[in-house]
Amino acid sequence: MHENKPCVDVLIAVFNDARTIERAARSALSDAHVNHVVVIDDASTDNTPSVVASLQEEAAGRLIYRRLEKNGGPAVARNRGLDASTAPWVAILDGDDYFLPNRMKALLDASDGADFVADDQVQIREESGETEFLIGHSALMTVDLATFVIENLSKGPRPRKEYGFLKPIMRRSFLDAHQLRYDEQLRLGEDFALYTRALAAGAVFRVVPERTYAAVVRSSSISGHHSKAALERLRESSRSLGQLPRLTDREKALLREHYEGIDARIQWLNVIDAVKCRSPAAFLSPFFIRRATSAYLAARLWEQVVLRSRKSLGLAGSQS
């Protein structure tokens, strides 16, 4: 059990989140177990600073604001938030998401002997208002490294279901003892990399069935639209994770599969570039990297054929 006093600092990295930061910050400040809310402004160009300033006036010293002069991405911002926080537990909240009531109690009640404690998520599609759960489990789980990686492997057309999207409270003493921080080279998958390193270092990672984190899902989010450079950095991170010490053969194989899945997505972008450049050699070469990559690329090409055929038929029908 936990002591009934504020013991969690909530870190909110924001970039042009003026429309949603008040909701996010208030949801954290309203939790009695939250000590400080640390807002790290990743060089916003909208009125995020003034919105946060108005909140500071009524937060009685519980809201800390840090502004970065240069945009560095969520990993950089969260690390600066870790530097500014002092509580024994740290939680991450995205600037467009929010906590539901009594979230910290549910997590802290399961925290004895754990280093990371997460809950399931209510995922809310902004465009339609439809909701679904990230995991949908009904009992307390302890997640090991192999399970965590398996649950982050690509599952085809159902995005945003990976365990890497979980937002646990993290025991600061464990992070400090193992010198764990977010990889600042990453603008994508920084949570996956941190959790994987923590699990490889022996972290106890629990997931409770409560659903008190509301994640707003947008079709335009960075998690759904990746630049080639961001994917390449994630691929190199995945390669380095597979070289961590004391991994079992199974864990190494799973991390290799994770690496190959990212590489396949990069090769698809290479195929697209080859089509634009009208280079047959560049188009064909990705198909010879590995069998799984070839199958992935063939499936993506077929999707495009079907999509274009439907569009063509629709156009023909409108002209008839």
Would the pLDDT of 223 be above 60?
Answer: no
Classify residue 202 as left (phi > 0), alpha (psi -120 to 50) or beta.
Answer: left
- Looking at residue 317, its pLDDT comes to 47
Give me the helices (H) in the chain, please.
21-29, 48-56, 74-84, 103-108, 145-150, 172-177, 190-200, 228-241, 249-277, 280-284, 291-319
Q: What is the pLDDT confidence band of residue 222, given thresholds at 50, 70 and 90?
A: very low
| The two structure tokens encoding residue 132 | 């679904």
Q: What is the pLDDT confidence band of residue 310, given thresholds at 50, 70 and 90?
A: confident
Classify residue 115 as left (phi > 0), alpha (psi -120 to 50) or beta.
Answer: alpha
Q: What is the pLDDT confidence band of residue 220, given thresholds at 50, 70 and 90?
A: low
pTM for the model:
0.91
Compute φ and ψ for 112, nearest 5 degrees.
Answer: -60, 125
List, in order of start, the domains of the chain with CATH numbers.
8-217 (3.90.550.10), 228-319 (no CATH)
Taking residues 218-224, report their average pLDDT: 59
CA distances from 29 to 24, 170, 203, 276 (A): 9, 18, 28, 50
User: Could you tell me the sign of the dihedral formed by the alpha carbons of 181, 183, 184, 186, in that order?
Assistant: negative
Helix (H), strand (E) at residue 221 = none
Q: Are 155 and 186 in contact (CB under 8 A)?
A: no
At 259, is the secondary structure helix, strand, or coil? helix
Beta bridge partners of residue 177, listed in sequence order: none
Taking residues 73-81, report their average pLDDT: 98
Using a 10 angstrom Cβ sphere, with 0-12 exposed, 13-18 middle and 19 or more buried, the burial of residue 131 is middle
User: Could you tell me the sign of the dihedral formed by the alpha carbons of 274, 275, 278, 281, in that order?
Assistant: positive
Would the pLDDT of 301 be above 90?
Answer: yes
Q: What is the pLDDT confidence band of residue 167, given thresholds at 50, 70 and 90?
A: very high
Cα atoms in the Cβ-side hemisphere of radius 13 Å centred on 117: 23
Would the pLDDT of 172 be above 60?
Answer: yes
Read off the amino acid at residue 203.
A
- Looking at residue 316, its pLDDT comes to 47
Would the pLDDT of 214 be above 70?
Answer: yes
Alpha-carbon span 161 to 134, nearest angstrom: 5
Would the pLDDT of 184 be above 80?
Answer: yes
- Longest CA span, the chain: 73
Q: Which residue has the tokens 């399931």?
A: 120
